[in-house]
Amino acid sequence: MSDRLRLVTRAADGTPTTIRDYENGTTFVKARDSFGIASPAARPVQSADVRRYGGSRTVGETHENGSIKWRSLVAGDSGDAVVENVEAMLAELQTGAGGLFVEWRPDGTTESAFYEVRGPGSYVVNYQWSEFAGARVLPVDIQVPIAPLARGAVSETAVTSRVLPTVLEIDDVAGRAGALADVEMSFDALSGDGSVRWALAAWWPRQRTPTSGYAAPLGIHEAESIPLISSSWGASTSGAGFSGGSGARCASFGAEFVAAGVLIDMAAADPDPFASTLDVEVFARVQIASGVDEPFLYASAAPMGSSILPTQVAADVPAGRFLREASSGSHFRLARLGVFTLPAGAAAGLWAIRVEGATGSDSDGAFDLDYVMVVPARSRCMSQTGRSYLSVRSFAPANGAAVATIRSDLTTTISEDGGTAHPSGGLGGAPIVLPNGDADLLLAVSNMTPDAPDYPDASELALYEMDITVTTTDLHRVAVG
């Protein structure tokens, strides 16, 4: 048998549709031993030590496109037919159209690798009179720019009736270089302002079991289960609209200071690539009663068991955040409290992420902590925060039943009632590439833009119940084994 070598498109489920077969045994034959793959050139990001003999250390890396090449022996019943076949092949390879893949399956293997075509191919025509006039064959050397990684199998993980925010377990990600992930969220009509204005997705390798009494750092930490630092943020209370077990930390006071700490074992999490630390981003959800004046939130991090190591503040939110007051009733708010760089991996220690609240002198209502959410800052994507909610394009602008999709490249679509999918407000951050092995995927949404300076006088919707489908496409460096 021969290799499989074809130009194809791929459906969402990975099924290929052939545009041109370069190994059909008649008009197109790949010359033996002519196929080759050139690795993508790496561009290391270096941090230099400016002292003598200090050298430099790689702290990041990007890649150019790779390329594949082969010699195609193009044949035909006549000289004109040969030329027509060559022209047809080159026209397809030089369109520059998106959505094209070169499929290669080496002889003796059972799975194909799909190389995304990243631009027009180049060619060299090796005309020899004897071959063309006699055998009606024209050898053409082809070279095609491709994405740095090849794509393999497509698989799905589906869950129904999941209340967001939530963490999904994606087991056995098979790609040796990870897997692209598209996230589809289907939901019914929501009460109030049903537009899902803001969304966040974050992912990480499955965390190890933490030390007893501590939690693994990444995920959703429900307030009723985290330790207290100040007695004024009292024992758990329950009520409609709270996450998890519908419990929260409750404080009813005038002007007071309250705090709670998420005790985390950083040895349970892997460090960021090229580092011994992990950048974590902290969010907190609170409920503010109408009597609370000047509500304020602040986060810090400190190692446990040390009286000499300094407390770490978030460089991007060093002074905390004031939240908009509620004119009537009680309003939920989600606040972004900044990024912290903490040691991670087997040698890392025990830490506390401290969330503090304060109010003005005229306060007489309740200030409740619902949950603290911690995500890896370098492997997450989300809608904008801290900007006018009127100036931020909504993630899923639909008031009825809808399906919202986040693609791995962070483009997003929305469709209503099974209709045509239309582009919606895309996300910013890292492309969604799950690590190989067991991985976790956190999803959170809101009808409000966190930290918007012009919050409407309304509450974040209580809970979002959605059906979720995660479609993964395995990634490989060369081929699928």
Same domain, 317 and 220: yes
Query: Looking at the domain assignment, is residue 481 inside a domain?
Result: no
pTM for this model (two decimals): 0.91
Residue 10 identity (one-letter amino acid)? R
Neighbours of 93 (CB within 10 A): 23
pLDDT at 474: 96
Look at residues 148, 166, 192 and tell me which one is the last residue of a structural domain. Answer: 148
| The residue type at 41 | A
In a domain, 311, yes or no: yes
Residues 73 and 89 in one domain: yes
Number of domains in the chain: 2
Residues 129, 111 share a domain: yes
Question: CATH number, domain at 353?
Answer: 2.60.120.260
pLDDT grade, residue 325 (50/70/90)? confident
pLDDT of residue 232: 65
Residue 249 scores a pLDDT above 80? no
**63-67, 100-104, 331-335 — which is least confidently predicted?**
331-335
Same domain, 132 and 223: no
Residue 192 has pLDDT above 60, yes or no: no
Find the CATH number of the domain harbouring 106: 2.40.30.200
> Does residue 250 register a pLDDT over 90?
no
3-state class of 263 per DSSP?
Answer: strand
Beta bridge partners of 62: 43
* Structural domain ending residue among the three candidates 83, 117, 148: 148
Q: Helix, strand, coil proportions of the chain in percent (round to 5)?
A: 5, 50, 45
Count Cα atoms within 13 angstroms, Cβ side, for 392.
28
- The rounded distance, in Å, linking the Cα atoms of 166 and 220 is 8
**Residue 143: pLDDT over 90:** yes
Do both 96 and 192 map to the same domain? no
Nearest to 115 by CA among 128, 101, 126: 101
| Same structural domain, 441 and 301 | yes
The answer to whether residue 264 sits within a structural domain is: yes
Residue 127: Cβ-neighbour burial (10 angstroms; 0-12, 13-18, 19+): exposed
> Do residue 56 and residue 120 come from a single domain?
yes
Does residue 230 share a domain with residue 81?
A: no
Q: What is the mean pLDDT of residues 435-455?
A: 90
Specify burial of residue 433 (Cβ count, 10 A radius: 0-12, 13-18, 19+): buried
Verify that 342 and 374 share a domain, yes or no.
yes
**Using CA atoms, how far apart are residues 225 and 451, in angstroms rounded to an integer?**
25
In a domain, 234, yes or no: yes
**Does 283 lie in the same domain as 374?**
yes
Q: Which of 148, 163, 198 is the last residue of a domain?
A: 148
Share of the chain above pLDDT 90, in %: 61
Whole-angstrom Cα Rg for the chain? 28
For residue 209, being part of any structural domain is answered with yes
**99, 9 contact by CB (below 8 A):** yes
- Owning domain of residue 24: 4-148
- Are 46 and 114 found together in one domain? yes
Please give the single-letter amino acid code of residue 189.
Answer: A
If asked whether residues 73 and 130 sit together in one domain, one would say yes
> Are the C-beta atoms of residues 206 and 439 closer than 8 Å to each other?
yes
Residue 261 has pLDDT above 90, yes or no: no
Question: How high is the pLDDT of residue 254?
Answer: 60
Give, in order, the Cα–Cα distances in Å from 12 to each of 126, 151, 153, 183. 38, 13, 11, 12
Highest mean pLDDT among 188-192, 255-259, 269-273: 269-273
